[in-house]
Amino acid sequence: QLQLQESGPGLVKPSETLSLACTVSGGSISSSSYYWGWIRQPPGKGLEWIGSIYYSGSTYYNPSLKSRVTISGDTPKNQFSLKLSSVTAADTAVYYCARDGTAAGQGFDYWGQGTLVTVSS
């Protein structure tokens, strides 16, 4: 059974960089059949896609966040990571990692449990 687990600091100061990792077990991020993505959800609000990475290293970002986002993969650790720079209180959210199929319309079929990141001094 595929499992995804987010990890990283729960508190980040304004203007600093938010860094999270997603560890995948029961499957490989090197599979050509999937993208691996980050989605966030501010408290009480809806889902917002941040970006995704393909096994080749190709990345796709939300245009509204693109200037601040970097997603990278670590194949030996079977992890992929998110860095979001220059954070503000508006970046406070539950951050999820999830798997997305490469076939059109497959959707995010496996999600991590999510991790709350609060931006505050």
Partner 1 sequence: SYELTQPPSVSVSPGQTASITCSGDKLEDKYVCWYQQKPGQSPVLVIYQDTKRPSGIPERFSGSNSGNTATLTISGTQAMDEADYYCQAWDSSTVVFGGGTKLTVL
Check binding of 73 to partner 1 (CB under 8 A).
no
**Residue of the chain from 60, 68, 70, 78 that contacts partner 1 (CB under 8 A):** 60
Q: What binding mask, one character per residue, do residues 83-102 give for partner 1 by CB under 8 A, x or -? A: -------------x---x--
Q: Is 104 in the site for partner 1 (CB under 8 A)?
A: yes
The residues, ordered by sequence, that sit 6+ positions from 19 with a Cβ below 8 Å of its Cβ are: 8, 9, 81, 82, 83
Number of residues forming the site for partner 1 (CB under 8 A): 24
Q: Is 46 in the site for partner 1 (CB under 8 A)?
A: yes
Options 11-19, 22-30, 56-64, 84-92: segment touching partner 1 (CB under 8 A): 56-64
> Closest approach of Cβ 105 to partner 1, in Å?
3
For 36-75, give one letter per residue: b (16+ CB within 10 A) or e: bbbbbeeeeeeeebbbbbbbeeebebeeebeebbbbebee
Distance from C-alpha of 14 to C-alpha of 121, rounded to nearest angstrom: 6
As measured in angstroms, the least distance from the Cβ of 60 to partner 1 is: 5
Cβ partners under 8 Å of residue 49, min gap 6: 37, 38, 39, 62
- The answer to whether residue 57 forms part of the interface with partner 1 (CB under 8 A) is no
Which of these ranges, 9-17, 26-34, 54-62, 77-85, lies near partner 1 under the rule CB under 8 A? 54-62
